[in-house]
Amino acid sequence: MDESLWVNLKVIANLQPFQRINTRPRLFQISQSNSNNAITSITLIESLQRWWTKSSRSSDFERIKDLYEYAEKKLISSEKKEIDRLKQHLQDSLKGLQSLQKTYEDDVTLKARIDCLIDYVNTLLETESINK
């Protein structure tokens, strides 16, 4: 199965509240900062990078949503063993989506979009697999 699907779901699963996710590379990354000075420096650098690449909360969310839509396609077209593994990764990623909700708690619209995505993932987990 596609490495980026597994890695990106694991990255999402490891998100903690108030951490930022970078979805621009093929493999998602979590922005790390440990001190106030580092936070200021990283925030400035990240802001400039996001401006340069025309990235935004909305575009990052769209890439995350695309990942889950891709996962749904894989659920339909994969063998039972892969489906079980994928469903476990989807289940684990819900924690990270909840962390994103906390990170963006002041953005009502994005928080609602994340809520809808969590519902979508839960629906995928409840749906019986279609095996070939």
pLDDT of residue 47: 66
d(CA 118, CA 96) in angstroms, rounded, equals: 10
Q: Is residue 101 part of a domain?
A: yes
Q: 63: how many CB neighbours lie within 10 A of its CB?
A: 15
Residue 30 bridge partners (DSSP): 21
Q: Is residue 132 part of a domain?
A: no
Sign of CA dihedral 118, 76, 131, 28: negative
pLDDT of residue 55: 62
What predicted TM-score, i.e. pTM, was given to this entire model? 0.81
Residues sharing a CB contact under 8 Å with residue 86, sequence separation 6 or more, in sequence order: 1, 5, 71, 74, 75, 78
d(CA 112, CA 117) in angstroms, rounded, equals: 9
Cβ atoms 114, 104 nearer than 8 A: yes
Instruction: State the residue range of the domain holding 61.
Output: 3-126
Q: Is residue 9 part of a domain?
A: yes
Q: Is residue 28 part of a domain?
A: yes
The domain tally of the chain equals 1
pLDDT of residue 39: 47
Structure-block tokens of residue 34: 């440990």
pLDDT of residue 102: 95
pLDDT of residue 72: 96
Which residues of the chain, if any, have pLDDT below 50? 34-40, 129-132
At 17, which amino acid appears? P
At 12, which amino acid appears? I
Identify the burial level of 98 via C-beta atoms within 10 angstroms of its C-beta, where 0-12 means exposed, 13-18 middle and 19 or more buried.
middle
